[in-house]
Structure 1
Amino acid sequence: MRQAARATAQLTKAAVLALGSYIFITVLLFTAAATVAVVGAALLPETVLLVRRIAGVKRRQAAVWTGREIPEAYLPLTGPLRERLRTTVRDPGTLRDLRWMVAYYGYGWLVCLVLPLWPVGLVVDGVRCGLMGREAVVLPLISRLADLDARWSRFLLKPSPKALLAERVEELTETRAGAVAAHGAELRRIERDLHDGTQARLVALSMRIGLAKRAYDHDPEGSRRLLDDAQDQAEEALTELRHVVRGIHPPILTDRGLAGAVRALAASSGLEVTVLVDGPVDDGPRAPAAVEAAVYFVVAEALTNAAKHSGSPRASVQLDRVSAGVRAVVWDEGLGGADEAGGSGLLGIRRRVAALDGIVTVTSPVGGPTMIAVELPCVW
């Protein structure tokens, strides 16, 4: 009975959607006529958006019943009217949605017809079971109808391989653009650090050595002081050069592995940081260098943000080696309200992770806490 009640609720939603679709056919016919007449061509993209919403409702209904999501793959309807019309006509998702809607017009009336009759069948089943000792028929039938409706909807609404490929190409185009932007920003940062820091110190070093050479014959003591200053400048230039190199690929990752490098970050962050490592992150085969570097920089940026903006003296970092790759979570008890558009470094984190086909999740309500979770895929 519980399963039958659930199936009844599912079919009731399907019947309501079918009735709504029958009403919506007026909109479709009007849009078709207006488009043919050219004057109403602007209605076509808006109508297609409505069809997408209706199809989306059906996808969610089927997902609730089967427990399996039906993915969507649509081209974005943006830009000038001519571009939106071209996208509407060329999008494979439009044709699949319309095909589903036409099919739903054909079999949706069965749901509307059978649903009011099944309580009568339930009474008959009760009589058959009580008086004649036979098995129930209607209860399994109502579940089978719900299964059939969900299977048909999944078959008709699932994206075609071509649509999935187009969506993947679009996604890769966006991530590549983000990766190029992140790479450009990184190159500009390295250039700025070299120009304003290391290069300036090397220029000062060269000038001091030149002055020491000139003063060597007539002022040996002054020349010695200049050489001492030059040695200090050389050490500072080496320190800054090491800092720049760490910004390209931290040597500590090679020396200590990801867990050890993150622990070193935590120790130097100025916060009370708890580092939890679940799973053998550094045992066995290691993640690719690009993945380890991305996780390292994400943790470094997140801890820097926490120290600057959170107002909390504590933070935590968790590293997990999962079947699909590496997962890192940075959490603090601060003020929250982190904004990607506010120069907090979150956009850079998202671009760096997206370049490796990873996922970033940011949770930072006003009042805190803030959680930044990233998952980067790799093959172990």
Structure 2
Amino acid sequence: MWKSVQRAAMATVHLVVAAAMCFGVYIFITVLLIAAIGTVAVVGCWLLPEAVLLIRRIAGAKRNLTALWTGREIPEAYPPMTGTLREQLRISVQDPGTLRDLRWMVAYYLYGALLALALPLWPLGLVVDGVWAGALRRSPVVLPLIVKLADTEARWSTALLMPSPKARLARRVEELKETRADAIAAHEAELRRIERDLHDGAQANLVALSMRIGLAKRAYDRDPDAARRLLDDAQDQAEQALTELRQVVRGIHPPILTDRGLVGAVRALASSSGLTVGVEDGGLEAGTRAPAAVEAAAYFVVAESLTNVAKYSGADRAEVRLARTRRGLTVRVRDEGRGGADESAGSGLLGMRRRVAALDGTFEVTSPAGGPTVIDVELPCVW
């Protein structure tokens, strides 16, 4: 009985908010008519894109309200409102998502009015229902009806606000374009890094090595001891060049990933980070391995995140959590530092985001001032 009352109370809140939103739709339709008239009259054509953006916000609020009740998210599929006024007007008129939102508004104008008219009857119905059920020792009738009404309202809203397959496909194409652009940017940045490392490190050492060998050849006959010293220096230079080359190769695909797997490589990162780092493997050690590109991206995220913790956070501890899911691999790095991480501040967050986006993954940073900083990454893959 108590669960039924709780469920009915939640349904009542949902319906009250839905009815209140219906009043807002009534007011907005007036604004929309003004925008349409202004567009026809040309002088107010700038109002239409703003009205469309407002439609999207109202529909988005309704999607969130419905998702809270049903527990299922309703996706959005809108093209970005960018470009010149003419391009924005074209998007406003041709956007199928906005047309579906308008269809929902018209329907909501009708069934939302029924919700608003029924509002005064619910308290009386609940009282009568409670008295009736208590007197006759039977199950209440109105409580289930309220829940059923909320379910029906949410089902109608879901059906009306769900983007069409065509709109979802168009939005997916746009996302893939953005992902491809990020992948290209990440690739170019990686090439520049490799070129810089080769030029400043291995190439400089190899040039110095060649010069020492040349000097040793010229000094070999007249001063064997000096030639021997030059050859010793050349050997040291060769070893240094090899070290530089190993570091470059390690940046492309760390050999430790091949040798130890992701968990072992992350544990090695943790032990060499200078921090106290707890690593949870999420059962990855006992399972099959993710694809090499996924492991490399996860390793890069952990390495860059721990570097940021050591440099900027002021914390001496961090936590790394790896987990295998049905969709792929998740990575979480958390520290209790000062927070305030900013992607535009050159802390490597943008590079991490681009590398994850190149694999169609998700990258989220939560870093309020005062901490904690949490980086959540999901990389899709087939196990």
| TM-score, scaled relative to structure 2 | 0.92
Equivalent residue letter for 1:331: R
SS in 2 for 1:356: coil
Partner of 1:150: 154
Counterpart selection for 1:320 from 323, 326, 330:
323
Equivalent residue letter for 2:306: L
Counterpart selection for 2:113 from 109, 115, 133:
109
Structure 1, unpaired ranges of 5+: none
Is 1:379 matched up with 2:379?
no
User: What is the CA–CA distance in structure 1 between the aligned matches of 2:26 and 2:67, rounded to whole Å?
Assistant: 23
Is 1:271 matched up with 2:292?
no
Counterpart selection for 2:343 from 340, 344, 347:
340
Report the alpha carbon displacement of residue 188 of structure 1 after superposing the two structures with TM. Answer: 0.5
Partner of 2:84: 80
Is 1:162 matched up with 2:166?
yes
Is 1:290 matched up with 2:293?
yes
Change in Cα spacing, 1:29 to 1:207, as seen in structure 2 (3 Å) is same
Partner of 2:372: 369
Paired residues of 1:273 and 1:316 also in contact (CA < 8 A): yes
Change in Cα spacing, 1:64 to 1:309, as seen in structure 2 (3 Å) is closer
User: What is the CA–CA distance in structure 2 between the aligned matches of 1:113 and 1:306, rounded to whole Å?
Assistant: 57
Question: Bigger shift: 166-175 or 331-340?
Answer: 331-340
Change in Cα spacing, 1:119 to 1:209, as seen in structure 2 (3 Å) is closer
Equivalent residue letter for 2:378: E
Partner of 1:236: 240
Superposed counterparts of 1:116-265, under 5 Å = 116-122=120-126, 125=129, 136-265=140-269
Is 1:8 matched up with 2:46?
no
Counterpart selection for 1:46 from 41, 46, 50:
50
Equivalent residue letter for 1:102: V
Paired residues of 1:128 and 1:135 also in contact (CA < 8 A): no
Question: Bigger shift: 19-28 or 88-97?
Answer: 19-28
Is 1:306 matched up with 2:309?
yes
Is 1:99 matched up with 2:103?
yes
Report the alpha carbon displacement of residue 109 of structure 1 after superposing the two structures with TM. Answer: 2.1
Report the alpha carbon displacement of residue 260 of structure 1 after superposing the two structures with TM. Answer: 1.2
User: What is the CA–CA distance in structure 1 between the aligned matches of 2:169 and 2:208, rounded to whole Å?
Assistant: 56
Partner of 1:355: 358
Question: Bigger shift: 5-14 or 37-46?
Answer: 5-14
Equivalent residue letter for 1:254: T
Change in Cα spacing, 1:315 to 1:10, as seen in structure 2 (3 Å) is closer
Report the alpha carbon displacement of residue 275 of structure 1 after superposing the two structures with TM. Answer: 2.5
Change in Cα spacing, 1:284 to 1:12, as seen in structure 2 (3 Å) is closer
Question: Bigger shift: 20-29 or 190-199?
Answer: 20-29
User: What is the CA–CA distance in structure 2 between the aligned matches of 1:31 and 1:339, rounded to whole Å?
Assistant: 39
Structure 1, residues 67-123: CA drift from partner, whole Å, max 9, x if none? 222222212212321121111112111100110111122222222223323445456
SS in 2 for 1:360: strand
Paired residues of 1:8 and 1:115 also in contact (CA < 8 A): no
- Percent identical pairs in the alignment equals 72
Structure 2, unpaired ranges of 5+: none
Report the alpha carbon displacement of residue 206 of structure 1 after superposing the two structures with TM. Answer: 1.1
Change in Cα spacing, 1:129 to 1:282, as seen in structure 2 (3 Å) is closer
Question: Bigger shift: 263-272 or 341-350?
Answer: 263-272
Change in Cα spacing, 1:230 to 1:29, as seen in structure 2 (3 Å) is same
Paired residues of 1:259 and 1:282 also in contact (CA < 8 A): yes
SS in 1 for 2:31: helix
Structure 1, residues 228-258: CA drift from partner, whole Å, max 9, x if none? 1111111111111111110111111111111
Change in Cα spacing, 1:27 to 1:68, as seen in structure 2 (3 Å) is same
Change in Cα spacing, 1:153 to 1:201, as seen in structure 2 (3 Å) is same
SS in 2 for 1:329: strand
Report the alpha carbon displacement of residue 154 of structure 1 after superposing the two structures with TM. Answer: 0.6
SS in 1 for 2:320: strand
Paired residues of 1:194 and 1:244 also in contact (CA < 8 A): yes
SS in 2 for 1:278: coil
Change in Cα spacing, 1:315 to 1:16, as seen in structure 2 (3 Å) is closer
User: What is the CA–CA distance in structure 2 between the aligned matches of 1:156 and 1:243, rounded to whole Å?
Assistant: 56
Question: Bigger shift: 175-184 or 307-316?
Answer: 307-316
User: What is the CA–CA distance in structure 1 between the aligned matches of 2:137 and 2:237, rounded to whole Å?
Assistant: 99
Structure 1, residues 121-173: CA drift from partner, whole Å, max 9, x if none? 45665676577888654333332222221111110011111111121111111
Question: Bigger shift: 178-187 or 52-61?
Answer: 52-61
